[in-house]
Structure 1
Amino acid sequence: APVLETKRLMESLRDSTLRDPMTGLNNRRFLEEYVETLVASVQRKRAHAAILMLDLDYFKMVNDTYGHDAGDAVLKALSTVLKQSVRAADLVIRYGGEEFLIILLDTSGEAAERVAENIRNTVENLKVPVSGVVLQKTISIGIADFPDDSETFWQAVKFADVALYQAKEQGRNRVIRFNPAMWSDNKEY
């Protein structure tokens, strides 16, 4: 029995390093471990994966104005929306801070934009009650396609981030799809 208990404990510890404890979502480390499997699957099926990079607009203001508990409540509410907005096979990852990454398997183009727009709209209408006030936030989303926009997965993630940057530059609370004109070596990201 002690061997079995040790094995369970090791699995539990391993799981805890791959999940974000606050939101329960997979974390960046999970993505780093899973990426080879994901890429192999996409290539084998000659499929696509849409990569959505999402960032809460003016999130720092929530923490600064209402405190970190309020910020945590907003992140948890957002995580729930993200999980409910995608299929079970898709991946929702807390990428860091208030940044999230969604991988929509076998999805590209307009279908990915529809999912992203649905998420943007749902978040815009989300009301998060926090110690006597109701917070409403918006989200900016950048989309890139793997392998259409880039043959390497991590470059496609970078391109989704570039599109996210454009969404923020253009006024936030919007979905922007990556296009090659956004990318040049002399731009600072």
Structure 2
Amino acid sequence: MRDERDRMADLVITDHLTGLPNRAGLEQYIERLMRAREGGAPLFSLAVLDIDHFKAINDTFGHDIGDRILVWLSERLAQYLRDGDLVARVGGEEFVIVMPWAQAKQAQKVVERVRANIGKGRVPVTDGQTIAVTVSAGLGEQRPGEAFGELFRRVDTALYAAKHAGRDQTHLAGPDA
């Protein structure tokens, strides 16, 4: 009975397609991280990544290829992160990276490495045909006393600035964003 409850609990916090934590899993992780912060743990940085032109990919190649790209990207994100970082799929083509104990400057290096490596890859879509996938990212460091929702809004605003500036780039969240 205990194993079945554990399995059901895992299903609630895990994205079924990618195997990554979903929004509920991310929120659970953030709650633990924020409690640790209250105990004196350092701040963290947060990145929100979005696949560029994902709707066009789905419209051109179909949702099965879109799903293949989501799985491919989730594998790459996990591959290029630091030990201890968390990546979650929070909806559609949007992913979140939480980098504990990373200030913005260090986190920016991580996100740029991730973004550049993703852009170098090719995803097979049909017999012999591949496509390149790029991501845009917003990034910010948690400020002392800042609630997660506030940080997420700042970073999400930076993500949209990166998309509006031409995509395939990272923008830092401003302090007043």
The question of a shared fold, defined as TM-score above 0.5 by the shorter chain, is answered with yes
Q: Could you tell me which residue of structure 1 aligns to residue 167 of structure 2? A: 172
Q: Could you tell me which residue of structure 2 aligns to residue 13 of structure 1? A: 8
Map residues 77-116 of structure 1 onto 2, 5 A cutoff.
Answer: 77-116=72-111
Q: Could you tell me which residue of structure 2 aligns to residue 137 of structure 1? A: 133
CA contact (8 A) 2:81 2:114 kept: no
Change beyond 3 A, Cα 1:17–1:171: same
Instruction: Give 3-state SS (helix, strand or coil) of 1:26's partner.
Output: coil
CA contact (8 A) 1:28 1:96 kept: yes
Instruction: Give 3-state SS (helix, strand or coil) of 2:139's partner.
Output: strand
Q: Determine the C-alpha separation between the residues in 1 that align with 2:89 and 2:108.
A: 20
Q: Determine the C-alpha separation between the residues in 2 that align with 1:63 and 1:143.
A: 26
Q: Determine the C-alpha separation between the residues in 1 that align with 2:151 and 2:67.
A: 29
Q: Determine the C-alpha separation between the residues in 2 that align with 1:121 and 1:163.
A: 18
- Following superposition, the deviation at residue 82 of structure 1 comes to 0.6
**1:162 pairs with one of 153, 157, 165:** 157
CA contact (8 A) 1:85 1:119 kept: yes
Write the deviation string for residues 95-146 of structure 1: whole angstroms up to 9, x where unpaired.
1000000000100121111001001101111111122210111100000111
TM-score scaled to structure 2, two decimals?
0.94
Q: Could you tell me which residue of structure 2 aligns to residue 187 of structure 1? A: none
Instruction: Give 3-state SS (helix, strand or coil) of 1:87's partner.
Output: coil
Q: Determine the C-alpha separation between the residues in 2 that align with 1:19 and 1:77.
A: 17
Does residue 67 (structure 1) correspond to residue 59 (structure 2)? The answer is: no
Q: Could you tell me which residue of structure 1 aligns to residue 120 of structure 2? A: 125
Q: Could you tell me which residue of structure 1 aligns to residue 42 of structure 2? A: 47
Q: Determine the C-alpha separation between the residues in 2 that align with 1:145 and 1:165.
A: 17
Structure 1 consecutive aligned stretches of length 4 or more whose deviation exceeds 4 Å: none
Q: Determine the C-alpha separation between the residues in 2 that align with 1:42 and 1:81.
A: 29
Write the deviation string for residues 156-180 of structure 1: whole angstroms up to 9, x where unpaired.
0111101101101111000110113
Q: Determine the C-alpha separation between the residues in 1 that align with 2:147 and 2:102.
A: 17
CA contact (8 A) 1:53 1:142 kept: yes
- Following superposition, the deviation at residue 87 of structure 1 comes to 2.5
TM-score scaled to structure 1, two decimals?
0.89
Q: Which structure is larger by alpha-carbon Rg, 1 or 2? A: 1
Q: Determine the C-alpha separation between the residues in 2 that align with 1:90 and 1:23.
A: 17
Q: Determine the C-alpha separation between the residues in 1 that align with 2:3 and 2:83.
A: 25
CA contact (8 A) 1:147 1:153 kept: no
**1:146 pairs with one of 136, 142, 160:** 142
Gaps of 5+ in 1: 1-5, 184-189
